[in-house]
Structure 1
């Protein structure tokens, strides 16, 4: 089973989902998690105007079923939101140096986080995951995308990663639509 199929299976019966985009937008492809979350918010802004979604807000909620969080480089700042919301599933999306072809998307086992390069976080992602599993009963999924360029001072995604992000965003929108339709 490929990673995207596995992700779809993991989220199929989700009642409440949190999607967190992590990264630094001035380090090229490191900002891909933020780009994806903002793209999802942008998509639902017109579809659900009553939800007052805004790509410039850090936390956006859709019908108390989907929480979209732009974490920047400090996902630990949003642990209280997650503890309060108690989503059934939490998906972290981040650039991950995995030694793969740029644009490769992988579902990373939370036990293997330490083997993957997530470089711009204030706290290591494994510390945040341990903290969350101690305080809330949510399944945590880590989605990594291999970056192409992580140069400091570049405020846009590389062309290849931009296209892969658009493709992945469409997959996430389909999954979110299925969550919103069911309930």
Structure 2
């Protein structure tokens, strides 16, 4: 399946899109960039920066059946590649820049809401102190925004 089909398959009922990342660390900003793009287009989404654990009450208050985190994730593919990752698959990725881990936050939300959590992971090219994302990840952010807007506007 392609990105659009994968995402359509997980959205059923109330959903929350959550952007995770740090704007000062290059490609790590992809989640917050996507969410801010969606917000500008009128699509409800939460920008939690690099502290997703600080937004669990806000997420729970929306009583979601699906929570989709958008974040930079190293899953060993070409920069800009995108993968839909379930909570238990997150243990297989090579690094997690969040403390507590995003997997722990996702498990907590699944237990509290009864819903499902996913990460839409974007393979970074570089995560270092700089404000600019790589061209590959910028392109992925544009495509993710387009696809999510289309799905959530239906």
Which residue matches 1:21? 19
66, 80, 98: which one aligns with 1:103:
80
Deviation of 1:28 after TM superposition, in Å, equals 0.2
Cα contact 2:21–2:29 (8 A) shared by 1: yes
What is residue 168 of structure 1 aligned with on the other side?
144
**Residue from 28, 33, 36 that aligns with 1:35:** 33
Tell me the SS of whatever aligns to 2:45. strand
| 1:138-157 alignment, distance < 5 Å | 138-152=115-129, 154-157=130-133
Cα distance, 1:100–1:142 mapped onto 2, change above 3 Å: same
Deviations 1:56-85 (A, max 9, x none): xxxxxx6xxxx4110111101111112211
Larger radius of gyration: 1
* Alpha-carbon distance in structure 2 between the residues aligned to 1:100 and 1:130: 25
Does the CA contact (< 8 Å) of 1:110 and 1:140 recur in 2? Answer: yes
| Partner SS, residue 131 of structure 2 | coil
Q: Which runs of 5 or more structure 1 residues have no equivalent in the other structure? A: 45-61, 179-183
Structure 2 stretches lacking a partner, 5+ long? none
Separation in 2 of the partners of 1:4 and 1:118?
26
SS of structure 1 residue aligned to 2:48: strand
Q: Provide runs of 4+ in structure 1 moved above 6 Å.
A: none
Per-residue deviation, 1:124: 0.4
Normalised to the residue count of structure 2, the TM-score between the two structures is 0.93
8 Å CA contact 1:118, 1:125 repeated in 2: no
